[in-house]
Structure 1
């Protein structure tokens, strides 16, 4: 039992022409050109969506170092999604370094908001001791 061949004017027929060592007909060339253009347009659109998703992840209302670190983390995350295999290791290393810096900055920020942490980690506070007669006037 033989398979039915795709008619000319399709990407499959274009490939068949090439496999047979033939020059593809005009209809097959047009079909293949259209297929390639669609694939490229979809790849570009996918890249744009990944980058936008990374930018959204990286955009924080925070200012300063922590906000910048999170913005960079979003960019690295988006880059990882479209990276070539030989680029992945370096990007993973950058992502890990950024995650570590963000964790350190988060800890600092928590300490700033936590009075107990400020007491334990902050500079010593010297409170003068008052004698009984000084307290009662």
Structure 2
């Protein structure tokens, strides 16, 4: 049988190990956050140089943003439009609408763009400034 002092020593060891593990997790998480913010800032600076975003103010707190693409529509999301949205609405924003606009048919794959089809389209957002906190960085994408 184990003595009371031995049992106490084992319990203290287990709790100490758990506490160290939890503190290591927070250290790893803060390290991942700082690396993530670095990656995001590099990506944003590159997007500012290469992306041409059109911004029009509709009302005092509403904006129209548009970006042209020459590829099949994969998503209604754009890093460049997110950057410009944060520029015009630093406290945050909500989407009023997000559309892909084109006069003809949309391409479904990149192969269609290489010969037979014009794949250009315009991604358009209408946003309203609102007090919305910025999403935290995640290695696994948006939640």
| Structure whose CA Rg is larger | 1
Higher relative contact order (CA 8 A, sep 6+): 2
- Higher helix proportion: 1
TM-score (norm 1): 0.30
- Higher strand proportion: 2
TM-score (norm 2): 0.29
